[in-house]
């Protein structure tokens, strides 16, 4: 694939299934660990959760096939009221996706507890900024070709045009390619124990918040 053939467009509801496939491709372990065989609910829930906080929803396409995505917020107010509203909407999404038998309900309690604790840690440790990367994935078969950098370049250019000075992103050291951000120029702003990822993969994981200062 040549980058000259790559096109970009905004996400629409018809893209939910394909974006869910990219989620599964990137985080299959997390989806399987909680949603079991019903991976469809898990991957689509991840997409919907990311959309809750995003006003930038761009897809990279090769011959109309979606091969990458970047969802984020640019100049979006993040008051404590907005945070609580989004958090409870997120919890409702997840509960709706997994409620079923008593065993799942019991696991849901621990799942939501660790998710809530991690969201609070992110809120406390994230530097003041109203511009964030929420979801950023490139199809594993298309990585290493510059697609991720192009998606990020376009997001950053839009942030510059909105007179943004700081962009933040939360990631962790087990399932995510945090080295990509460091190579791009992001700086590590905070680290902490990742309750959510550690719970899902049953292995200690570190949450990382990166920042990029725009000139």
Domains of the chain, by residue range, sit at 3-213
Q: Which residue has the higher pLDDT, 45 or 145?
A: 145
Q: Is 50 exceeded by the pLDDT of residue 102?
A: no
Query: Which segments of the chain does DSSP mark as H helices, in order?
Result: 16-35, 39-52, 80-98, 102-125, 147-161, 178-184, 195-201
Cα(207)–Cα(170) distance, rounded to whole angstroms?
Answer: 7
Cα(72)–Cα(125) distance, rounded to whole angstroms?
Answer: 18
Phi, psi (degrees; rounded to nearest 5) at 204 = -60, 125
Q: What pLDDT digit, counting tens, does each position of 5-62 carry?
A: 899 999 999 999 999 889 888 875 555 555 555 555 667 777 888 888 899 999 999 9
- Whether 1 and 20 have beta carbons less than 8 Å apart is answered as no
Q: What pLDDT digit, counting tens, does each position of 7-22 carry?
A: 999 999 999 999 988 9
The model carries a pTM of 0.84
Q: Is 60 exceeded by the pLDDT of residue 112?
A: yes
Cα radius of gyration rounded to whole Å, the chain: 17
CATH tag, 3-213: 3.40.630.30
Helix (H, G, I), strand (E, B), or coil: what is residue 26? helix
Phi, psi (degrees; rounded to nearest 5) at 203 = -155, 140
Cα(166)–Cα(132) distance, rounded to whole angstroms?
Answer: 9
Query: What pLDDT, on the 0 to 100 scale, is given for residue 5?
Result: 82
């Amino acid at each position: 694939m040549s980058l000259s053939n790559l096109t970009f467009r905004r996400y629409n509801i018809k893209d939910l299934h394909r974006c869910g496939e990219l989620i599964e491709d990137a985080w299959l372990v997390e989806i399987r660990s909680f949603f079991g065989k019903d991976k469809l609910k898990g991957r689509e829930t991840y997409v919907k959760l990311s959309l809750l906080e995003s006003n930038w929803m761009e897809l990279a396409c090769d011959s109309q096939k979606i091969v990458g995505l970047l969802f984020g917020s640019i100049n979006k107010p993040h008051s404590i009221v907005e945070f609580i509203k989004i958090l409870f909407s997120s919890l409702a999404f997840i509960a709706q996706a997994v409620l079923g038998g008593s065993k799942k309900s019991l696991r849901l309690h621990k799942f939501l507890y660790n998710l809530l604790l991690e969201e609070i840690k992110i809120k406390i440790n994230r530097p003041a900024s109203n511009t964030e990367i929420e979801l950023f994935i490139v199809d594993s078969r298309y990585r290493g070709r510059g697609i991720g950098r192009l998606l990020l370049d376009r997001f950053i250019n839009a942030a510059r045009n909105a007179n943004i000075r700081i962009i933040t992103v939360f990631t962790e050291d087990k399932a995510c390619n945090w080295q990509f951000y460091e190579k791009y120029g992001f700086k590590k702003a905070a680290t902490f124990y990742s309750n959510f990822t550690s719970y899902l993969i049953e292995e200690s994981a570190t949450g990382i918040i990166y920042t990029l200062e725009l000139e």
